[in-house]
Amino acid sequence: MEEEQHWPAHIEHQVDLYMQYLAVEKRVSEHTLDHYFSDIEQFIQFMLAERIQDFATITHVDVRTFMGRLSRDREKRTIARKLSALRSLYEFLRREGWVEKNPAKAVQSPRLEKKLPNFLYQDAIERLLSAPDTTTPLGLRDKALLEVLYASGVRVGELVALDVPDLDVSQGMALVFGKGSKERLVLLGSQALQALQAYFAYGRPTLWQQGGGVAGHAVFLNKNGTRLSDRSVRRILDKYVLLCAGLQHISPHTLRHTFATHLLDNGADLRAIQELLGHSSLSSTQIYTHTAREHLERVYTNAHPRA
């Protein structure tokens, strides 16, 4: 039987500090943390198999060899994510003085086909938002949760991090902390505000008491009265997708895409959408113009006599 390999203590220490940095300073979601840790763990197993005991001795050739072995049975998008995880790790190690350079930067990422974002049409989003049973505390929470996701376009990590003081109900706004700990204001809209008010009046107090108040100011609580996790949000959404015939492959990010697509379809300025989504670059937002163009082409084909 092959003997189990253990990480050298200094590598384990460096990875622990890096994961703390991602969680505390970069405020990445639990889901992203899991992916990054898994990718780095896989790279360290490669290092140990090659008898490499230190991040500082890794070269771009080693990184390329690792990526080459991955390419045999993995999609390009997965390989690109793993390379991104290594680049991020090495940037951290370089800033901390543990390595001199980032060998992952010298390795080219696989070319990816541009994937258009999945979104819901108006009738589908209405069915999804109407699915929760608002006669129960959990149903009130789920209704508010779904309404806020669609109304604001926030990421799931931003949603679960919301605290009550972050909400300004009178102004219909919320302060969220996005990638890189960047603050931004998002708009909530009348339907989301109504759902939040019902949840705060008849849902959250019950859930908060069940947890004995340990959740503090967290907006969205689970059945035990503690802060909801991003994984729980995904499970909640999956539950309602099953209840709505015709819906599939829907994630919390789908509601973010739906938010942006519906704004663009109804005449919103692309730069305004960029601000609301918290994109640092307009190029990240421009993908929604492709979605809008496809929608217009379908409408034209179906409606024009000479299409």
Report the C-alpha gap between 230 and 175 in whole angstroms.
Answer: 18
pLDDT tens-place string over residues 183-196: 888 889 899 999 99
Among residues 82, 204, 227, 256, which one is catalytic? 256
Which pLDDT belongs to residue 110? 78
Please give the residue that has the higher pLDDT: either 199 or 268.
Answer: 199
**Is 179 part of the annotated catalytic residue set?**
yes
Would you say 137 and 206 are in contact if contact means Cβ atoms under 8 Å apart?
yes
Catalytic residue chosen out of the listed positions 179, 184, 223, 234:
179
Work out how many domains the chain is built from and give that number: 2
CATH code: domain of residue 30: 1.10.150.130
Residue 113 lies in a domain: no
* 253 noted as active-site residue: yes
- Annotated active-site residue in 82, 143, 155, 262: 155
Looking at the structure, do residues 80 and 136 belong to the same domain, yes or no?
no
Q: Catalytic site residue 217? A: no
Residue 298: pLDDT band (50, 70, 90) is: low
Q: 36 lies in which domain range? A: 9-106
Model confidence at 132: pLDDT above 50: yes
Residue 1: its pLDDT value, please? 36
pLDDT at 198 > cutoff 90: yes
Say which of 60, 81, 127, 253 is annotated catalytic.
253
* Residue 268 binned pLDDT confidence (cut-offs 50, 70, 90): confident
Q: Is 52 helix (H, G, I), strand (E, B) or coil?
A: coil
- What per-residue confidence (pLDDT) applies to 148? 95
Q: What is the pLDDT of residues 40-53, one digit of tens each?
A: 999 999 999 999 99
> What's 234-246 look like in SS3?
HHHHHHHHHHCCC
Instruction: Please indicate, yes or no, whether residues 83 and 205 belong to a single structural domain of this protein.
Output: no
Say which range, 45-49, 86-90, 260-264, has the weakest mean pLDDT.
260-264
Taking the C-alpha atoms of residue 41 and residue 60, their distance in angstroms, rounded to an integer, is 18
For the chain, the average pLDDT equals 86
Catalytic residue list contains 256: yes
| Catalytic residue chosen out of the listed positions 36, 150, 240, 288 | 288
State yes or no: pLDDT of 28 exceeds 60. yes
- pLDDT classification of 180: cutoffs 50, 70, 90: low
288 catalytic per annotation? yes
Domain boundary among 53, 75, 106: 106
Tell me what the mean pLDDT of segment 162-180 comes to. Answer: 88
